[in-house]
Structure 1
């Protein structure tokens, strides 16, 4: 999937897709509740009310930069709390290269936050050691996010993620810690969107009179646009995440802004009563 926003090109590279089995992350999104939202079907849910979600990266090309936003689960990782996320051997780098983005061509890695499914390909296992996957890139982490997980990765799974996918980047001297509202390039500015994690950031692209929002995990699925209070089980602050969703969606609703989520594909936000709905592209 590929989209153009002014002079900026966005390409989605999917690592894995799921249909259903999402109740662990959005417990209130029952089949019956999803079937009440027919606009989700077929792009974001099945007729039976099962959610469609993906884990993917977004490559953002400007006139001078080649940025990969979020890096999925990665291969050979261990200590994950979802069994199928351990010891993976996915051809993600081959897919990335086939799409025209060999790892060495990436100059910036941007993580919207530092959860397990957004940092995995930051590193790869070489000779028993975790090394940066994108050898020519600087890795951009939100300072608030990085410092939180550095100091609070107490649970074994969180400790494993930081140790194999974040700390090696800092050790290699490739990490740039930035403010949550940093301007990364003329066309790209970060937006603080806390709640899912303490320093979660979304990405605002503006080029040639057009705009895009890479929302990250401000919402895991478009059903959260109508049910703003359906916070994910992974949200560090559910009340804040609901507040963030309302503010973020209000800002971009009823505009031509292209919106892409961390686990769903592109569309436009429309107001719907006191909440919102999502109109898929294509």
Structure 2
């Protein structure tokens, strides 16, 4: 268990349940909404200087010691392509659909993880796509063009669809034709306790999903935050941030908001569960940490 998960357990929020075959279900409760972390693939995917090209080697030193679980070695990031399933009396929402069956190795395991969590594809009412990069929509459509989640509406920002759709091909083209695609215009409710929050920069129409229930809040942040070091270094952009200045502004806004309102964050590229909080270190009160 990494230090984030250990800390959340002390707060009585983070829950681990051992499932059949040794699989561990990692969940948090936010009011009436249970959020379960799922992993499509996880491993050592990128060298640090590839994914964070503007960050010098020596700048990583304090974070190698603080977050050893987020590195494969001193030069390599340990990453994850994750999704989250949200369950409440209102229904079941899946946030992002991973890399899909064409993932590295034997393919992504999102559907297996969903089954282990007790969710069948037909149980999903809404698929919320934070953005339309290939590692976030891979399990959206079958090879025959039919939706993987047959009873779901697929929700994303219109600004994201307009710039991405011409390049996506089979990955999402069938959704529009089948009438199951719903396009949002900025901040909009997605459900009774769920709100899409525009968080642009990584992509033009990137959005995060705010869960607000029973006086508690969590934010599924997509790719606005991809590494715990960014809690301290919000100007550190990844290679894939399309508008780097905007991405940094968005990240700073989110970090300040999450700290001020004690919002739990669920970040799909951070190893393990991706659950965490933004805090101040008692020894360094001027600096935020994950």
**Partner residue of 2:61?**
35
Deviation at 1:144? 0.9
Equivalent position to 2:92, from 66, 71, 85: 66
Equivalent position to 2:131, from 98, 113, 137: 113
The reply on whether 1:242 has 2:248 as its aligned counterpart is: yes
**Partner residue of 2:28?**
3
Runs (4+) of structure 1 moved beyond 6 Å? none
Query: What is the CA–CA distance in structure 1 between the aligned matches of 2:57 and 2:100, rounded to whole Å?
Result: 30
Query: What is the CA–CA distance in structure 2 between the aligned matches of 1:138 and 1:111, rounded to whole Å?
Result: 11
**Partner residue of 1:277?**
289
- 1:259 is paired with a residue of what secondary structure? strand
**Partner residue of 1:201?**
207
Q: Tell me if structure 2 keeps the 8 A contact 1:228–1:275.
A: no
Query: What is the CA–CA distance in structure 1 between the aligned matches of 2:197 and 2:35, rounded to whole Å?
Result: 18
**Partner residue of 2:227?**
221
Q: Tell me if structure 2 keeps the 8 A contact 1:33–1:49.
A: no
**Partner residue of 1:171?**
177
Equivalent position to 1:13, from 11, 34, 38: 38
How do 1:89-238 residues align onto structure 2 when only pairs under 5 Å count? 89-125=107-143, 129-150=144-165, 153=166, 159=167, 162-238=168-244
Query: What is the CA–CA distance in structure 1 between the aligned matches of 2:190 and 2:75, rounded to whole Å?
Result: 39
Moved more, 264-273 or 245-254: 264-273
Query: What is the CA–CA distance in structure 2 between the aligned matches of 1:35 and 1:96, rounded to whole Å?
Result: 37
Deviation at 1:248? 1.1
Query: What is the CA–CA distance in structure 1 between the aligned matches of 2:193 and 2:71, rounded to whole Å?
Result: 33
Shift in alpha-carbon separation, 1:92–1:215, aligned structure 2, 3 A: closer
Q: Tell me if structure 1 keeps the 8 A contact 2:258–2:264.
A: no
Query: What is the CA–CA distance in structure 2 between the aligned matches of 1:164 and 1:20, rounded to whole Å?
Result: 25
Q: Tell me if structure 2 keeps the 8 A contact 1:74–1:88.
A: no
Deviation at 1:256? 2.9
Deviation at 1:221? 1.0
Q: Tell me if structure 2 keeps the 8 A contact 1:183–1:190.
A: yes
Q: Tell me if structure 1 keeps the 8 A contact 2:41–2:80.
A: yes
Query: What is the CA–CA distance in structure 2 between the aligned matches of 1:31 and 1:49, rounded to whole Å?
Result: 8
**Partner residue of 2:21?**
none
Deviation at 1:28? 4.0
Moved more, 191-200 or 45-54: 45-54
Deviations 1:235-262 (A, max 9, x none): 1100100011111111111543211112
Query: What is the CA–CA distance in structure 2 between the aligned matches of 1:45 and 1:141, rounded to whole Å?
Result: 31
Q: Tell me if structure 1 keeps the 8 A contact 2:97–2:110.
A: no
What is the CA RMSD across the aligned residues, in angstroms? Answer: 2.2
Q: Tell me if structure 1 keeps the 8 A contact 2:219–2:265.
A: yes
- 2:238 is paired with a residue of what secondary structure? coil
Alignment coverage as a number of residue pairs: 258
Shift in alpha-carbon separation, 1:181–1:26, aligned structure 2, 3 A: same
Deviations 1:62-116 (A, max 9, x none): 211200000001114xxxxxxxx47853343122112101111101000000011
Shift in alpha-carbon separation, 1:31–1:11, aligned structure 2, 3 A: farther
Moved more, 134-143 or 268-277: 268-277
